[in-house]
Structure 1
Amino acid sequence: MNTKYDLIVIGSGALGTFHAYHALQNGLSVALIEKDKQPVSATVRNFGQVVPSGMDTKWQNYGRESLKVYNDIQNKFDISVRNNGSIYLASNQEEVQLIEELSIINKNNGYESHLLTKEQCLDKYPGLRADYVHAGLFFPEEVTVEPRVMISRLLQFLTSEKGLQYYPNTKVVRCEAWGDNEVEVETAGGAIFKGAKVLLCCGSEFKTLYPDVFANSDLEVTKLQMLQTRPQPGYELKGSILTGLSIRRYEAFYECPSFDAIKAKENADSFEKKWGVHILFKQAADGSMIIGDSHEYADAANIDDLGFDLRTDVDEFMIDEAKKIFNLPTYEIQNRWFGMYSQCKENDIFQHTVDNNIHIVTGIGGKGMTGSAGFSKENIKQLFNLS
């Protein structure tokens, strides 16, 4: 190819595509290369909850920037953003204490949240069980998206409106620096792409292109199970619903003064601990309810150890726990699936530079849908020394 791009991005999931978006916003020329017809991994297999509230202070800031990006794009092009807020439902007094402490932290951070009484929660969320909820913490700025719709429409927006050069069904087999200011990328079809910089955001191609770096990384893979009910007749549940087990798991609550003492009391041998279960609800655009999820872990090099089966005991446990929280019109399940994402054991994201102009960025973990848009804005500025 005769074109030399300012940036070549490999991997069109949320992390790669939002890097492409911010590069384009800064006037750079961008080629985005995707090995599949469309993204098929972590970006399209999650809840579609954009919840900065669940993150530590550093990533909450990225998430809050992401909210601005999502809303700005939505105002120009429908990418399925729904502004309907998030709530954490406390099921006992320990969890009430944690949400009260988090509300103080958020006040100090300038992030809007509202404590709701039991009665206010019951009034706001139909079907919520009175014998479960004690109080809630509501975040009005947070949004939901339909993951598969969002990434597809975002790519459509960037190609039709922003000048992105997008190459799906294109497998990269070589990525090599030429001199001080050029990188050459070769595809399985023999095409050559040239760019000033390459950003590699795809775990599988990271493993293929740089096996030694991959083998020495601290990446691990998480497998999550999720379920989808049939559409709920005549029923609407707005926003992201996070419950007591989420309060006991999400990083934001680690900063609460009482968190360590409350966690120390938990039964380390419980089923929810063994399988990393916390119960989430989100109603999809078709009226169905997404319920989950669970967490199993393996080193990235041993991803096959996680298998490809769905554990019926995990699904049954999640359904039983969900029924303790909401009386839905139906719990008939129409779809079950698992997703996988990579994360770092010691760091919050994996970043590595090869030959000055080849940058590997992956392992964003469960923060991808919420944090990618904000993180990539800052990262593009750093990579290109932009003000």
Structure 2
Amino acid sequence: MTSVDLVVVGAGVVGLAHAWHAARRGLSVAVVERDEHAVGASVRNFGHGCFTAQDGVAFEYAMAAREEWLKLAAEAGFWLRESGTVVVARHEDELAVLEEFQDVREIQLTDDLPVAGLKGAHLPLDIRVNPREAVHAIARLLAGRGVAFHWSTNVLTVEPGLVRTSRGEITCRAAVVAVGHDVDRFFPGLAERHEVLRCELRMLRVAHGGVVDPAVLTGFSMLRYDAFNRCPSTEKVRERLAHDHPELVEAGLNLMFTQLPDGSLTIGDTHHYGRTVEPHRPEHLDELVLTETARLLGVPSLHVLERWRGIYASAPEPFLTAAPAPLTRAVSVTSGIGMTTALGLAPAVLDDLLQEL
């Protein structure tokens, strides 16, 4: 039987964030992950630290997380770009949002655009990482510093002071369950009370010949990031896009892309919500995304290299941090911004949890 101070269930970015901060506080930590390495939402996203467009407590977590990402990239040796984000205005109402956004955040309007548009806003604090390598590099760093990883191991029950797994029991002083949308597998009543759903997003990787250093957001993105809601003109953008592109707005399109180190672009993404995600999705939604992205890039068509779907937790509140049992916390980022905020959220969770010890 293994004994540690803290067991973390889940080796995605939320779980690793808690392991990182706990280890830095001198706690002994074990991470239990059902797969042989992280394969969920933490490796299926844009790799975009979209700090500037968050609002409220999410903005606080995001800005704290930014500093941690820089530390981790330096210590773990993974690729990170501090190239920011360009939000492109392709319509006068979108330009009005960007002009209003200058009163919300310290940004600069720019004519230096990597795509076609009237004007853009550069958000200099945002970052990019390669999500296909970053979480794995963090796990290796933590393992090298004494965090015990139990890969390919299912957690059966989480009880105060004890985590039962498919490979044996681990005694602990405290536990953090960071399994994203699968929180309902462990604590179904808690998930129901917090109205946790699964959000399926569809993404693609396409070939591209040029260099686009910043992440690129569009008017569709303005409808999905909370800080833009402070801008009065955002509602005009919403109304126009709903009129001109009803199917894309209904599908929750966030038309954006980021570039991977090999030059290809990660593009997307559409969203579909439900307690259970159905396996079949219509191809025409991907075709619409490809068409809109090609128009954004000013090219006739795009060559698809990969397609995939991600699934993350969604709920009315952006974060679920609950105590289903003594010395236990269930933690999910329920707003699709886990990469952006988890490293800032984890210290607040640990502060609260360790008060019980």
Please give the range of the TM-score, normalised by the shorter of the 2 chains.
over 0.9
| Identity across matched positions, percent | 25
Corresponding residue for residue 225 of structure 2: 250
| 1:356 CA displacement | 1.9
- 1:365 maps onto 2:335 in alignment: yes
| 1:63 CA displacement | 1.0
Corresponding residue for residue 151 of structure 1: 135
Corresponding residue for residue 38 of structure 1: 37
The answer to which structure has the higher strand fraction is 2
> Secondary structure of the residue that 2:82 maps to in structure 1?
coil
> Secondary structure of the residue that 1:277 maps to in structure 2?
coil
Hey, what's the Cα distance between the residues in 1 that align with 2:151 and 2:104?
43
Aligned residues: 355
Hey, what's the Cα distance between the residues in 1 that align with 2:300 and 2:260?
15
CA deviations over 1:178-203 (Å, ceiling 9, x no partner): xxxxx1111123x1101111100114
Q: In the alignment, residue 38 of structure 2 is paired with which amino acid?
A: P
Correspondences of 1:78-93 after superposition (within 5 Å): 78-93=77-92
Correspondences of 1:209-228 after superposition (within 5 Å): 209-228=186-205
CA deviations over 1:57-83 (Å, ceiling 9, x no partner): 321221111111011121222122122
Corresponding residue for residue 352 of structure 1: 322
What is the CA RMSD across the aligned residues, in angstroms?
Answer: 2.0
* Aligned mate of 1:285, from 247, 251, 261: 261
Which deviates the most, 311-320 or 72-81? 72-81
Q: TM-score, normalised by structure 2?
A: 0.93
CA deviations over 1:309-330 (Å, ceiling 9, x no partner): 3421111111111122113597
Change (3 A) 1:214 1:140: closer
CA deviations over 1:250-304 (Å, ceiling 9, x no partner): 2110122333454345536711112111211111111111111101111x3xx1x
Hey, what's the Cα distance between the residues in 2 that align with 1:78 and 1:330?
35
Hey, what's the Cα distance between the residues in 2 that align with 1:22 and 1:58?
19
Q: TM-score, normalised by structure 1?
A: 0.87
> Secondary structure of the residue that 1:151 maps to in structure 2?
helix
* Aligned mate of 1:197, from 165, 168, 174: 174
Corresponding residue for residue 176 of structure 1: 159
Hey, what's the Cα distance between the residues in 1 that align with 2:282 and 2:44?
17
> Secondary structure of the residue that 1:195 maps to in structure 2?
strand
- 1:103 maps onto 2:97 in alignment: no
* Aligned mate of 2:344, from 370, 374, 378: 374
Which deviates the most, 38-47 or 73-82? 73-82
> Secondary structure of the residue that 2:198 maps to in structure 1?
strand
Corresponding residue for residue 110 of structure 2: 116
* Aligned mate of 1:320, from 268, 285, 291: 291
> Secondary structure of the residue that 1:349 maps to in structure 2?
strand
